[in-house]
Amino acid sequence: MVGKNLTEDPRFQKFELLTPNRSELNLFNTDSVLNYLKNKKPDFIVHCAGRVGGIQANMSYPVEFLTENLDINKNVIHSAYLAGIKNLINLGSSCMYPREAKNPLSEDLILKGELEPTNEGYAIAKITAQRLCSYIMKQDQSFNYKTLIPCNLYGRHDKFSPQHSHLVPAVIRKLHLAKIHKEKTVDIWGDGCARREFMYSADLVDCIYKGVTEFSSMPDLMNCGLGFDYSVNEYYAAAAKVIGYDGEFIHDLTKPVGMKQKLVSIVLAKNWGWQSQISLEVGLEKTYQFFLENEMKG
């Protein structure tokens, strides 16, 4: 999702973008990645590849979420180091923070407590990538390998299938189908009081662009988020308004809900001169339009 949104941003068109797909470059193959980077010698890498999914996918496939992301992260970051590529932005995840940490989550809290069990494998892989970046910079100060930690994301090119989607795309699909089938009720996992910070993906691309063009001033480790959050119930209500679903919601208290809150601190980002710009309503409208045009054809 992030990579495709980045390549669609007109500001990135002034760069020569290398965007190999899976058939061109197997990120699980160490030699292939190293040879590709030695051959292409990019000036800059934005590392946003990985296996991603919502709570259901993370709970169903913890082995794959740990091992596949460990392999991808090591191959990209370490190969970039071996190839002598000096500048890299690595994308982390707010699941890197301890489950019991005080919100808002500041960057110094990583590895300061137990992780959320429902996505622990993915979090461990992300933490490992961030630490690898920091170790490389410590070992050789000519390398600048920095990590952005975005909050939860949604937007164009998101995954909408129930098995793989995060909250917002899952809600969009569920409410759209409920509207089409004239369903009177829609279920919400848990009591809907858990709070989440979801940012429209174009906002992250905007932050990455500032990072690429103002790299020297960008902090080595920095959150990228809204600085505020909404309850799950509020996301359902906002999506229902955009989609035009007027049924009722019922809560399934037998389902897992994950962390009660996961709100990142944006103090460093604001001090650096960046803030998100896209409102929840606008982001939902754009995402729903993409869903209608690309997911519901035929």
Coil, helix or strand for 31?
Answer: helix
Dihedral angle sign, alpha carbons of residues 41, 42, 47, 50: negative
- Could you give the angle at which helices 167-180 and 232-243 cross, rounded to 10 degrees? 40
Coil, helix or strand for 145?
Answer: strand
Q: One of 36, 81, 97, 122 is an active-site residue; which one?
A: 122
Residue with tokens 């962390």: 259
β-sheet with 44-47: strand ranges across: 44-47, 87-91, 144-150, 221-224
C-beta atoms surrounding 94 within 10 Å: 22
Q: Residue 149 burial by CB count (10 A; 0-12/13-18/19+): exposed, middle or buried?
A: buried
Widest Cα–Cα separation across the chain: 61
CA 255 to chain centre: 23
Residue with tokens 């899952």: 170
To the query of whether residue 122 is one of the catalytic residues in this protein, the response is yes
CA angle 174, 223, 51 (to 5 degrees): 50
Helix (H) or strand (E) holding 185: strand 185-189
- Of 131, 146, 35, 41, the C-alpha closest to 85 is 41
Q: Which two tokens stand for residue 217?
A: 């001033």
* Residues identified as active-site: 122
